Structure 1
């Protein structure tokens, strides 16, 4: 980690898929209010041609050009890389995290962090033994709009609760994938890679439910009761429906994901109901919120009340916030994120393990 007025983090990017391109595109955008400086130091993928094409498309205007490698191991071995960003499919996360950790690298790994809670514990045990930083890249949790919304809902800082006592939240992630038309080699049909809607997109609906229903910080969460059902096409889960119920408050969450239906875009992606009003979160999908509107209570027979809209639309997609917080963590010598600590990653994986147990999805790695 280089030192300057704001911290500098030099990133090694593992693989050149869509999620890595989004991450890199955000990090190279100029930002006058940046909390950290980000340098794409190295790109590692399966061939130099892929690495060159990725750099030409996404880093043409970058101040410095990255080292290009035809393997992941060369990124892990690069002494100028401060932190490795892992954007491979879920089923490879444990393998890639352990390899980076063994090389002494700090790691920011995409969601879902691993395929199950047992794998997550194995990664964190390795990080603890090696003394390196590891965090799950759940970018939704790092967004300022999420923190602002939680403050409004729960009166954090001594303010009033914007909609009274929260009693229910609903989050629905819809994305259409023609499963029957996909080749057998598609990752969307490969259980070893974590195929299904839950780990791919349902985790965002689940994260919204947790963040909106549980006022506790990640260090002291409440475990909800879970009731889940799943549907399948060709043996792959395509629709998950979950009810969360928080015993201490009675709050309920309806958590939905499907790859069988395309939702209206933009639209309402999350709703939060309270005793004195409600909130609608707007955006294309739950992973890409753009605004939320706070409404007073909707009385019987009345038209929909006027609400106050809070807009967070921006040029960047939102990866900048998790990257900034990672850089700040590393500069401070921390080994885990306070926003997404290891215990919270494990808790979310345990909840998804239980959803899969009830719904019937089983991965080979669960054995």
Structure 2
């Protein structure tokens, strides 16, 4: 099966972290434990939060605010980990300062904002990538290898779900329209991106959903159609913890990807000829793989990753835009 390069073999890179929330903490832990990169600075609008974050993750420099962070000469690349509504502004801030950027998913609120960020990165000649870490995980590389080898034949159906239960809190970013909250951009982006990764851009998008009391999406079901008979059936919700599994079924067999499918995990292959085999997860955590990809591409002088190109991210954003249009979800300021 495919082997992913050890993230510790990637060139060192000096990271600045923009935003000091939970996902930033997970990224910091993975980088510290599994790469040769350095976390040199963190910036937050809340001074106490940035100082606590720096202490927890061994980061030597804290900044009160984001401009000082992106202008810090120690920083080579900025990891943007603020709410979706702020991604474009903060990515553009870093790019204007000449920094490479890794921007949390969903990359922006919509495809137009994503195109704006990538256009700025192209002009500045800096690397930019969406932090869709699933694309860089060992089990996903192994899945591509077996599918490319014809192990399950022609793909007919792909299914994936991502649901988590959250107590309703109108002040939480997940339920706040102004922060581009809702299930789709936070959780649903994973199954949508997974479908794009294996099947490409759909020919048609069909979606239905239900909104929360604050007007963001609480639950969405999606069918993506490809050609005459291939479909992806996807779902996401804020109202229940779902199995968060995935399956890919073809004319010669099927693959079941264990939950949580978007994290380092295992899968089981069952062919129609009766042969069964499994792939076992070899890696702890997972965010180190995307960090290593950034470091390798920056060292090579690249501005985008061939594994997750700028076009790939924009294509996913267009599908998310179409889903939102069909369920009637518009964010303030769009």
TM-score class, shorter-chain normalisation, is over 0.9
Contact 2:210 2:220 in 1 (8 A): yes
Which of 192, 205, 230 lines up with 2:178 in the alignment? 192
- Deviation, structure 1 residue 154: 2.1
- Deviation, structure 1 residue 251: 1.2
- Deviation, structure 1 residue 169: 0.8
- Deviation, structure 1 residue 339: 1.2
Q: Does 1:312 align with 2:281?
A: yes
Q: Which residue number in structure 2 is paired with residue 139 of structure 1?
A: 133
Which of 242, 258, 269 lines up with 1:282 in the alignment? 258
Give deviations 1:33-57, integer Å, cap 9, x for gaps: x6xx200011111233222211222
CA change 1:306–1:223 in 2 (3 A) is closer
**TM (normalized to structure 1)?**
0.84
- Deviation, structure 1 residue 6: 5.3
- Deviation, structure 1 residue 177: 1.4
Contact 2:54 2:61 in 1 (8 A): no
Alpha-carbon distance in structure 1 between the residues aligned to 2:242 and 2:201: 31
- Deviation, structure 1 residue 132: 1.5
Q: Does 1:170 align with 2:140?
A: no
Give deviations 1:294-341, integer Å, cap 9, x for gaps: 01239xxxxxx67311111532x2111111110011001111111111
Alpha-carbon distance in structure 2 between the residues aligned to 1:222 and 1:114: 18
Q: State the structure with more CA Rg.
A: 1
Query: Please, which runs of 5 or more residues in structure 1 have no aligned partner?
Result: 60-64, 156-160, 215-220, 299-304
Which of 124, 138, 158 lines up with 1:130 in the alignment? 124
**TM (normalized to structure 2)?**
0.92
- Deviation, structure 1 residue 263: 2.5
Which of 195, 200, 207 lines up with 1:228 in the alignment? 207
Which of 314, 321, 343 lines up with 2:311 in the alignment? 343
Residue-pair matches, total: 325
Query: Please, which runs of 5 or more residues in structure 2 have no aligned partner?
Result: 1-8
Give deviations 1:177-232, integer Å, cap 9, x for gaps: 122xx1x32212211211110000000011222223x2xxxxxx444311111111
- Deviation, structure 1 residue 286: 3.5
- Deviation, structure 1 residue 289: 4.2
Quick check: 130-139 or 44-53, which moved more?
44-53
Alpha-carbon distance in structure 2 between the residues aligned to 1:110 and 1:246: 28
